[in-house]
A = this chain, B = another copy of it.
């Protein structure tokens, strides 16, 4: 509580060549692993320090306290994911392609970086409860990506004009998130790629303007 001036975030004066390996980052990276493995309430500062190869006290040179470490961890994790998505979508022109890309990217992320995914799916979800008052701002960003795609689709006339983006955004995110979670908690044997495709099918059919999906009467 007495706190000490938080020396994080600013002025990183890298003394040697350290690439992306500030001690702060090493700690964060270690924390991700530990958090994913043991869950929030079983993760101790000592665990994290050990995983990062530093002393317990060192953590407090970079983070005000455990909560703050968690918050920065969440933001780091989300930022990492966001970058991935922005990249993946840049190449797509149309809403449908973008939505496909988004879903695939999400599930690919889960498969390739399960620790990060676990944190997003499980820990982040209850962050607002275990860290009093915390609202992850980047999570909003994340949702906004989906929302924008939907909006584009509507404007393109490809998606139903009556869908409420904010609602459907949540639905889509929820669907993906749950599938990710199921996979994370399972033995992780089946491929998420296939699931991604099947999921795309259904979601796209769900949001498309009807005639498009059924040019039957032609």
Binding site for B on A (CB under 8 A): 38-42, 122-123, 125-126, 128-130, 160, 162-164, 167-168, 170-179, 181-182, 185, 195, 198-199, 201-203, 205-208, 210-211, 213-214, 216-218
- Contacting residue for A38 out of B129, B174, B175, B195, CB 8 A: B129
- CB of B206 within 8 A of CB of A202, answer yes
Known: A175-B174, A177-B174. A126 touches B39 (CB 8 A): yes
- Contacting residue for A203 out of B130, B170, B206, CB 8 A: B206
Nearest CB on B from A144, distance (A) = 14
- CB of A214 within 8 A of CB of B210, answer yes
Which residues of the partner chain B approach A39 to less than 8 Å between Cβ atoms?
126, 129-130
Which residues of the partner chain B approach A205 to less than 8 Å between Cβ atoms?
205-206, 208, 210, 213
What are 21 contact pairs spanning A and B, CB under 8 A? A39-B126, A122-B125, A122-B126, A126-B126, A162-B201, A163-B198, A163-B201, A167-B199, A168-B202, A171-B176, A171-B202, A173-B178, A174-B177, A177-B178, A178-B178, A206-B206, A211-B216, A214-B214, A214-B216, A214-B217, A217-B217
Can you list the 6 inter-chain pairs with the closest CB atoms, starting with the nearest? A217-B217, A174-B178, A206-B206, A214-B214, A39-B129, A41-B41
C-alpha spacing A218/B210, complex, angstroms: 14
- CB of A163 within 8 A of CB of B202, answer yes
- Contacting residue for A213 out of B164, B167, B170, B213, CB 8 A: B213
Nearest CB on B from A36, distance (A) = 9
Known: A202-B168, A203-B206, A210-B216. A129 touches B122 (CB 8 A): yes
Which residues of the partner chain B approach A210 to less than 8 Å between Cβ atoms?
205, 213-214, 216
Q: A125-B126, A174-B176 are in contact. List 7 more A-B contacts (CB 8 A).
A: A125-B125, A170-B175, A171-B179, A205-B208, A211-B214, A214-B214, A214-B217
